[in-house]
Structure 1
């Protein structure tokens, strides 16, 4: 019997390798090979749904970077009300407090009303926040608006990732997730462009249009079939799956529905004790430690703070190009250069990327700090000829983060944890990082006044190097490994 099963599996493998349009599965109860034809349908609705849903990440990027063009205006005499540097730090950072509340709220809705309506509900605070910013008459109004914005985008962002993962065909899921990431970069670029060429009020009105556009387009999109299966609404799941796959005949999607059902059953088995397993199982504790160190190397490099204050930072350089245009140029070039670096993780390997990206980021931060040390501590007079250094070095820094540390933190977190605890672990990491970002943003101006801007960059450089080196030393190489093989590496 064992030899027969082995023969059938070998035959199954050879048949699969010879076929591009079929899948072969082994029916172990009857010891025979069953052939399942999988035909690619019209995927237009999948792409439409992803483009519409990705307006959430567009808004997330624009809300995150908004403080960069907004703070110089709010501190100037042309503002309807003027804020202090300390208040500016709160305006930039309090957004991340809102995202914590959003991330705590979405699990209460996503399995009760569905992915689609959860996203539409969180679009309401997004819309309201931009209106509150537009009509703000004092800094308290801005604080409130930024918290509301954080709730809207912090709650919607993980649900949007969940939605795309559940509606996408498996062979284009990576591409559709990448499209979502591109929208984040476009969102930051759009906010900086609006800040550079439009008035403060017009910038806010422009950014208000995107959550409205999301509501108008996404309300016509289908709910995730996965959600309907979790609610035992199999007919609705089948109907939406046919729409998303572009089939009229439901028989073509039965295999995929069965796979979803199995995944849901496994999820229910592990849901109750996932938190306990995460901290009691040796492999999962080690995975949590590694993922935390990798994420910390990204956060403590200061990338989120530098993005939020990029216009202020470039104003210290004295570069001939105005800071708002320098920031726009920075964002445009980083987006253009960094996107092609996305496949590096699969070509080079995770450990090498952790070390090399960390070293490049560290050297960039050291160089920027040295420039400001010459200018503000040694008070070197002839700096105009090299005033381009901070802009050029920030481009290298951002490219290294986006092409290395950022995707590494996402991929490692997705690979190291077993399916039993992955959802719980990722939620902990997402929620845990926001207070760190909040404190770093809030303390940025105070650290500059106490230690000097050069010391702040050198502090980020030190943390980035130590944590990246720690990531390199402690993490296993997961390139080309299956999830089962990765779990064995965690022993």
Structure 2
């Protein structure tokens, strides 16, 4: 015990504090990404005013591209970050994300040309890809099963906190002061993250088993020869040896292997449910909803105050998710948030129908349903979909699947931001919100029927739940035949 205390300093044997600190450092680029996204809200008002730093008001067309271009560039960036993470390591990829983020802010500091601004916003797509591909991978691979879900939810907490941070400073500080503060975030991460080790799974994959053992011991606050460390190291080796049995073509494995294909379908469904729940369009439609709801009322929030209110709701949901995910479980939390989000979207759509028909509709209802939708999105739909995707695949497939699901999510977000208002004006906004509600309710039903619980479970246990009764019965028959042949041989 004396040796252990000397080895780990102030931490007790088996403490998880190092894993928590590492997860926070891993997700700092996500906070910086949240700031990149949040920057558009207060800056749009400034760029389209008479006091625009460009010298003249920026057009709606250019603003639309500034807002949406990062989602488009994120599509190839997801696969780029998955490749870099597997080829050069999780640590290198995170340093690359922060360096890219710094370049984006330096471009905005260097020029007020609209095309330079759009290019700087396009670079944000790389940061977005890394935030939702590399950071969840890295966090999962340094976390114990008992805290894996809570630490996995940090990605949404840090993103929403970054959004809120920019909403607040964007309302009180000058244009260039905001840019300098935002530049300091990735620079700080670049400096401090040099001390972080590589993930144990990556080290084992590349033959550095001794270093992986030392890193595991450091993360779990135990001696390298501790049985807990040796068991964990053996589990990682077995998982990767099993991966080597499959094809080198990952998509072929996913399509031909029934269990992998079912797992892939689960990740795609919950990703689509997350992106088409209405949260993205609600955030962009919030100003008009607040304006309509405030007619005849004494309360009227400014656009920045609206953004801060929604940002606070997002952060509250993400904080609660990190607190209760290990108690509530992934499945129940995803089901409840999908169900409530679907009902709130249907209620909002009904409010629009009632208003158009001249029927009395309470003015507070849009505000409440909007906040409920955003809260559910950050409480369950966003974090749990990312956590489950990381938990339901082994090391070999994790990065590729996260890249594929994130690419689909980015494409959907890009299309929604670009075309939502046009479609809503042509067929009616209530139809759009009924559609979002139907998607959420369908997701809730799918969660109950198909998705297994992944909380504190190893991959083998999760995959056992994905097998059908026929497959289990067939395997039992095969085992009986093997045992019978062995007895006969003896």
Confirm or deny a common fold (TM above 0.5). yes
Any stretches of 5+ residues in structure 2 without a counterpart? 1-11, 472-490
- Cα displacement (A) at 1:276: 1.4
Question: Secondary structure of 1:320's partner?
Answer: coil
Q: Is 1:78 aligned to residue 51 of structure 2?
A: yes
The answer to whether the Cα contact below 8 Å between 1:225 and 1:241 also exists between their aligned partners in 2 is: yes
Give the structure 1 partner of residue 378 of structure 2: 402
TM alignment of 1:22-421, pairs within 5 A: 40-41=13-14, 43-80=16-53, 81-246=56-221, 249-252=223-226, 253-270=229-246, 272-307=248-283, 310-311=286-287, 314-315=290-291, 317-318=293-294, 319-337=299-317, 339-340=319-320, 356-371=336-351, 387-410=363-386, 412-413=388-389
- Cα displacement (A) at 1:136: 4.1
Answer 1 or 2: higher relative contact order, Cα 8 Å, separation at least 6: 2
Quick one: distance in 1 between partners of 2:63 and 2:277?
21
Quick one: distance in 2 between partners of 1:476 and 1:452?
34
The answer to whether the Cα contact below 8 Å between 1:298 and 1:409 also exists between their aligned partners in 2 is: yes
- Cα displacement (A) at 1:438: 0.9
Quick one: distance in 2 between partners of 1:418 and 1:42?
26
- The TM-score normalised by the length of structure 2 is 0.78
| Residue deviations 1:296-342 (CA, integer Å, cap 9, x gap) | 22211221233356456545544512221122122213432553356
Cα 1:354–1:149, aligned 2, differ >3 Å: closer, same or farther? closer
- Cα displacement (A) at 1:123: 1.2
Moved more, 230-239 or 213-222: 230-239
Quick one: distance in 1 between partners of 2:424 and 2:58?
18
- Cα displacement (A) at 1:215: 0.9
| Residue deviations 1:174-220 (CA, integer Å, cap 9, x gap) | 34333444222321221222223333433333222211121121112
Quick one: distance in 2 between partners of 1:89 and 1:131?
22
| Residue deviations 1:141-177 (CA, integer Å, cap 9, x gap) | 2221111111133135422222222233444333433
Any stretches of 5+ residues in structure 1 without a counterpart? 1-38
Give the structure 2 partner of residue 441 of structure 1: 417
Quick one: distance in 2 between partners of 1:165 and 1:151?
21
- The TM-score normalised by the length of structure 1 is 0.78
The answer to whether the Cα contact below 8 Å between 1:126 and 1:149 also exists between their aligned partners in 2 is: yes
| Residue deviations 1:458-487 (CA, integer Å, cap 9, x gap) | 44334444x336625752554788314312
Give the structure 2 partner of residue 31 of structure 1: none
Question: Secondary structure of 2:153's partner?
Answer: helix
Quick one: distance in 2 between partners of 1:72 and 1:317?
21
- Cα displacement (A) at 1:440: 0.8
Quick one: distance in 1 between partners of 2:23 and 2:151?
7
Instruction: Report how many aligned residue pairs link the two structures.
Output: 447
Cα 1:91–1:268, aligned 2, differ >3 Å: closer, same or farther? same
Give the structure 1 partner of residue 8 of structure 2: none
Moved more, 293-302 or 231-240: 231-240
Cα 1:489–1:119, aligned 2, differ >3 Å: closer, same or farther? same
Quick one: distance in 2 between partners of 1:180 and 1:473?
25
Question: Secondary structure of 1:212's partner?
Answer: helix
Quick one: distance in 2 between partners of 1:364 and 1:152?
32
| Residue deviations 1:256-279 (CA, integer Å, cap 9, x gap) | 333333333223333614321322
- Cα displacement (A) at 1:92: 1.3
The answer to whether the Cα contact below 8 Å between 2:139 and 2:152 also exists between their aligned partners in 1 is: yes
The answer to whether the Cα contact below 8 Å between 1:64 and 1:188 also exists between their aligned partners in 2 is: yes
Quick one: distance in 2 between partners of 1:343 and 1:485?
28
Give the structure 1 partner of residue 437 of structure 2: 461
Question: Secondary structure of 1:112's partner?
Answer: helix
